[in-house]
A = this chain, B = another copy of it.
Amino acid sequence: MTSKKRFKHMLPSVRQRKARSKKPGTAPGTIEHIGERHLDEIKITVYDYDEADFQELPIDQIQKVQPYLDAPSKTWIKVNGLHDTEKLKSIWNYFELHPLIQEDIVNTSQRPKVESYDNCIFFVLRMLTYSGDEKKLKTEQISIVLGQNYVMSFQETDEDYFKPIMDRLTVEGSRIRKLNTDYLTYALLDAVVDHYYNIIEHIADDIETLEDELLEEPDEHLLEQIHQIRREIIYFRKSVWPLRDAINSTIRDESKFISSNTKIFLRDVYDHMVQVIDNIENYRDLILGLHDMYMSFVSNRMNEVMKVLTIIATIFIPLTFIAGIYGMNFDPEISPYNMPELSWYWGYPASLGVMGIVAIIMVIYFKRKGWF
């Protein structure tokens, strides 16, 4: 794999980072899906559970969720696919979500945030994963609505990011079954943050590999990799940073939707966020350090190249000059001053001797300078 290829593959495009592109001036709260269509149809799955029971069933109309909401059990409504605005609207209106929530759900380039509304708390998260063989950084917006006795989650694709949580939901007596929907929300948050650790480790691996390669042989393709990791870090930081503050303010604020018991767990997520950001900041410092080291190696190498050139050239240039002198065709017969050395008995050995002495002086001079 050539370095350029690798570079291109792993790059989260700057363009990807562009924000919403709806036409300026369109009505706020305009429901228009900004993103890619991944599924044929929107899938709604209901997970209803309490300490005793658990069931998972796909539904096609949101009205069918009513019996579960009426029951004292807890309900998680998972929605996959965001392209069918009509169907989504039927869901949102059913739960009376604020127009701005609706806009944010389908406009999938939101900044992570937590917002309080009268009838719910609204979370925007950014799931980050490496996908495919080329380890391309992939991002997906996860929107979570925590209402009175339900949780709704929205995502564009069908990816099973929350599989482990579903597994735990099937386990009778597990803490998640005992506790309320705010704990489920916490569990979803925690799953997203856990994925950040994968990214962190991947970046750490890349940096370590870079460091090793740099000490081995500072190649030009390292430069592109340094730049690429720098970009990944910038991108990752941007996706992660806002969530930290959002969670922090959620912990501090009073809310009827989140119990103080769950807040202890949220504090744990917050700690993890802080740790993730700490790491990412350190990696940023490290990558800057690597770039400095790379530049220094390049300078050193050029210095070395220059020294070889200088040593060879400055030794031989004077010698060649001396040889050139005695290659001149002045006619010794016309005048005794015309290159009498050419007719000396020891002329040639003497000239070689002079050259040798010049060379030795040069070598000593360079030794003194510490160039060898």
Contacts and interface: CB of A to CB of B under 8 A. Distances in A.
Contacts of A323: 321, 324-325, 327-328
B351 A343 contact: no
A18 B278 CA distance: 11
Contact of A204 (B17, B223, B290, B330): B17
Given A323-B324, A334-B345, A24 B194 contact: yes
Interface string A231-274: 10011001000100000000000000000000011011001101
Contacts of A57: none
Nearest to A23: B164
Contact of A227 (B265, B289, B309, B352): B289
B345 A28 contact: no
Contact of A330 (B211, B338, B347): B347
Size category of the binding interface on chain A? 35 or more
Interface string A47-79: 000000000000000000000000000000000
B227 A275 contact: no
Interface string A342-372: 1111111101100000000000000000110
Interface stretch (A7-15, A36-44, A83-91, A138-146): A7-15
Interface string A175-205: 1100000000011001100110110110011
Given A227-B290, A305-B310, A313-B313, 16 more contacts: A20-B197, A25-B191, A28-B187, A100-B265, A110-B271, A110-B275, A215-B224, A234-B282, A299-B299, A299-B302, A302-B306, A317-B320, A328-B342, A330-B348, A331-B343, A335-B347
21 contacts: A13-B208, A15-B208, A17-B204, A21-B197, A24-B191, A26-B164, A100-B264, A215-B224, A227-B292, A230-B285, A234-B282, A299-B302, A302-B306, A308-B314, A323-B327, A326-B330, A327-B329, A328-B342, A330-B348, A334-B343, A335-B346
